[in-house]
Structure 1
Amino acid sequence: MIVRKLLFFLFLFFVLQGVDAQSRKVINLPDISGYITLKCDFHIHTVFSDGTVWPTIRVQEAWEEGLDAIAITDHIEYRPHSKDIVADHNRSYEIAEPLSKQLDILLVRGAEITRAMPPGHLNALFINNANFLEREDVNDAIKEARDQGAFILWNHPGWKAQQPDTTLWWDEHSALLKSDMLHGIEVYNHSSYYPEALDWANEKKLTVFANSDVHAPMLTKEDEHRPMTLVFAKSRTLGGIKEALFKRRTAVYFGNTLMGQSSVLEPLFFGSLDFKKAALKLTNKENKVVNIKNNSDVDYELELVQPGVGFDAPETITLKAHHVTPLALSGNSEEINDAQNIDVYYRVKNMFTDSTENILVTFSFRNN
């Protein structure tokens, strides 16, 4: 009897473990006006290059972590498992595709052109046939990707193995840009942030990316998330993603940090928040509180940009994820009595438009 009970509890334990392993995390980030916010990772590897997992594992991981889309980008030129795994460059995509459709994960056909600097490593997304990228001359390989209609991005531009001292933009990259053979750049790769890449993206009109570049099994903790590229797409389709990438509607998301153009970051910020729009009726020597609910996964860290006219506001405040935070305002002069609106200007310290600048947001409250 005791043995039977023990076996039952062991069976129950393993069943529950299996159920837990199949659960899907929900990433809470809002859509913005006119667009769907898609959570994507466009740089991952399998055993068909130098990764250590089967392609279907990458799809399963993406589903469990709440992603919408991935691109398996196995190396064209570097395949250390080729003695054991004999296949062409399209095989990892072909194996992963059926499960991606079953789990509703958008799977982008991609590959990594893997060369010394310059130009370094480049991901080609939305290709038709990875085998045709196997060319002796790197420019021929990149041109083939472009001719297939690919979106091409420069991976880990400040990778110490290739740029050990200074992260440089090379003449070769200018030539690629001029020839429509470079469209994006990784600002964040795995655990490395490249501030130069964010500035180059603004200067040279490149699309920004954050990707995991995962090789081993993805072991993300429950309260963490992998680096990802947020894509603001017109539709949750491969075509919608491709259009958004070429239009530069992306943001970088790693840790508690977001980076990109203010045109997407500001609506993402305000789309995360709920607060009452009723008139405050704040007067001199009076206090009012606006309760701000943050529905997103991001703790927004705010710093006051300038003093209020006729009122005081907190110098710093953190709108904690999934919490309601009180914003306390107090009248400090007679000017506030007749004010029609109260405008509070904050810098969002963990939302960057370039390597040194944060986005500025304005809370505008009706007063009378």
Structure 2
Amino acid sequence: MKTRASVLILFFIASISSLFSIERTDLILPTIPEYQIIKCDLHAHTVFSDGEVWPTLRVREAWENGLDALAITDHIEYTPHDKDIHINLNRSTEIGAAVAPNYLLTFIKGAEITRDMPPGHFNALFIKNVDKLDTKDWHDAIQAAVDQGAFIFWNHPGWRGQQPDGIGKWYEEHTRLFEEGYLHGIEVVNEDEYYPEVHQWCLDKNLTIMGNSDIHGTIASQYSAGPARHRPMTWVLARENTVEAIKDGLINRRTVVYWRNKLIGRTPHLQMIAEKSLEIMPGQLALKSKNNTPLQLVNHSGLEFDLNLSFVESNLSLPTTVTIPPLSTVLIPVGRPEKSQVADKVLLRIQVNNFLDKPNQGLVFERELVVQ
């Protein structure tokens, strides 16, 4: 009896130790006005549909990857493991929700409505009962999600399993959902794919820009920790890390997608992150009495910045292409042609090539510098 008790105690200690020995990779991001940047993955699968892992591992991976919030969105209509596992459409989110507090992770209940194209696949977030979405007619399933107050987004419009050319196509069914107000967002990024045509749809139709992993296997087998191959995320600009605040951020289209060392989003959100990350030192150029002066660009974030630089309507010169690694400072020379005059103020034009505020186009903003 004592031996058995000792074994149980050792097992318990080992379990607790393993819980607290895991490591989290946190991405350092700037502090922005009014909002927190909540790092989310809102499209993930488990063995309760066609995934390969148990919901508890999905939650643990999310914490390890530096996420703040996770939605498990198992397929409703596609459950290939049903001979091995009793499929309860609510069970994966019940398990995930139970363990998420152990990782201080905000958990969002969701499901994937999985239909042929058109209309395709849709994630419904913030639902209460997945069973009510299990209907024969695709629109009835969407309606059942709306009736539960769901945020609904269209998944991977350019997925080659439904669009062989990899280009998203807008059908009458999507017009119907859009006009009804039932379509709230679209995945501009899914797994390894970026859909520039979908990015433009979101801008034109004022829909929320989404990007997620759609993970089925393990994160470790599909993604690395490096900047070029990290897990895709939807960053939600929310007032706090709660289910309610995240939903508010999604509904009001305050999102940025983090994918392959790029940010994809709307101009105001990307510019706010860029301006709070980059510091120009000093703010004055000592060029009135000499022809050259150094300028420092300081990156206070964990993001890499791929920049093109130029002065607006000025004869000053500087390197046009600059890459600033995370948490680094780059020194660049600024020159004035000999015997030339320079204005008291100049505008530095900054193009961030890896911050896409339009399809495949980098964010552009300007900073005013004083010349002394």
Judged with a 3 Å threshold, the aligned counterparts in structure 2 of structure 1 residues 21 and 154 are, in CA distance, closer, same or farther, namely farther
2:218 corresponds to: 217
Q: Do residues 232 (structure 1) and 237 (structure 2) align? A: yes
Q: Could you tell me how far 1:235 is from its partner in structure 2?
A: 1.2
Distance 1:34 1:289 in 2: 34
1:335 corresponds to: 341
Q: Do residues 43 (structure 1) and 46 (structure 2) align? A: no
DSSP-derived class of the 1:302 partner? strand
Which 10-residue stretch deviates more, 318-327 or 120-129? 318-327
Q: What is the identity, as a one-letter code, of the residue corresponding to 1:135?
A: T
CA distances 1:201-221 after superposition (whole Å, capped 9, x unpaired) = 001111111100000111132
Q: Which segments of 5 or more consecutive residues in structure 2 lack a partner in the other structure?
A: 1-13
Which 10-residue stretch deviates more, 41-50 or 355-364? 355-364
Q: Do residues 264 (structure 1) and 265 (structure 2) align? A: no
1:80 corresponds to: 80
Distance 1:138 1:150 in 2: 15
Q: Could you tell me how far 1:356 is from its partner in structure 2?
A: 3.9
1:1-12 superposed matches below 5 A:
none
Q: Tell me if structure 2 keeps the 8 A contact 1:230–1:250.
A: yes
Q: Tell me if structure 2 keeps the 8 A contact 1:124–1:150.
A: yes
Which 10-residue stretch deviates more, 341-350 or 32-41? 341-350
Q: Do residues 280 (structure 1) and 285 (structure 2) align? A: yes
Q: How many pairs were matched up?
A: 352
Distance 2:295 2:20 in 1: 39
1:59-98 superposed matches below 5 A:
59-98=59-98
Distance 2:297 2:20 in 1: 33
1:186-335 superposed matches below 5 A:
186-219=187-220, 220-224=223-227, 225-283=230-288, 285-304=290-309, 308-332=313-337, 334-335=340-341
Q: Tell me if structure 1 keeps the 8 A contact 2:209–2:257.
A: yes
1:354 corresponds to: 358
Q: Tell me if structure 2 keeps the 8 A contact 1:34–1:234.
A: yes
Q: What is the identity, as a one-letter code, of the residue corresponding to 1:221?
A: S
Judged with a 3 Å threshold, the aligned counterparts in structure 2 of structure 1 residues 187 and 278 are, in CA distance, closer, same or farther, namely closer
Q: What is the identity, as a one-letter code, of the residue corresponding to 1:247?
A: N
Judged with a 3 Å threshold, the aligned counterparts in structure 2 of structure 1 residues 308 and 246 are, in CA distance, closer, same or farther, namely same
CA distances 1:20-42 after superposition (whole Å, capped 9, x unpaired) = 96011111222321110111100
Q: Tell me if structure 2 keeps the 8 A contact 1:50–1:80.
A: yes
2:9 corresponds to: none
Tell me the TM-score normalized by structure 1. 0.91
Distance 1:159 1:316 in 2: 34
Query: Taking every aligned residue pair, what percent have the same amino acid on both sides?
Result: 41
CA distances 1:66-108 after superposition (whole Å, capped 9, x unpaired) = 1001100000000111122214211111111122112111111
Q: Tell me if structure 1 keeps the 8 A contact 2:312–2:346.
A: no
Q: Which segments of 5 or more consecutive residues in structure 1 lack a partner in the other structure?
A: 1-13
Q: What is the identity, as a one-letter code, of the residue corresponding to 1:357?
A: Q
Distance 1:104 1:201 in 2: 32
Q: Which runs of 4+ in 1 moved over 6 A?
A: none
Q: What is the identity, as a one-letter code, of the residue corresponding to 1:330?
A: G
DSSP-derived class of the 1:362 partner? strand
Q: Could you tell me how far 1:307 is from its partner in structure 2?
A: 5.1
Distance 2:188 2:171 in 1: 17
Distance 1:50 1:69 in 2: 22
Q: What is the identity, as a one-letter code, of the residue corresponding to 1:363?
A: R
Q: Tell me if structure 1 keeps the 8 A contact 2:249–2:255.
A: yes
2:171 corresponds to: 170
DSSP-derived class of the 2:284 partner? coil
Q: Could you tell me how far 1:303 is from its partner in structure 2?
A: 1.5
Q: What is the identity, as a one-letter code, of the residue corresponding to 1:211?
A: N
Q: What is the identity, as a one-letter code, of the residue corresponding to 1:250?
A: T
DSSP-derived class of the 1:326 partner? strand
1:366 corresponds to: 370
Distance 2:243 2:219 in 1: 24
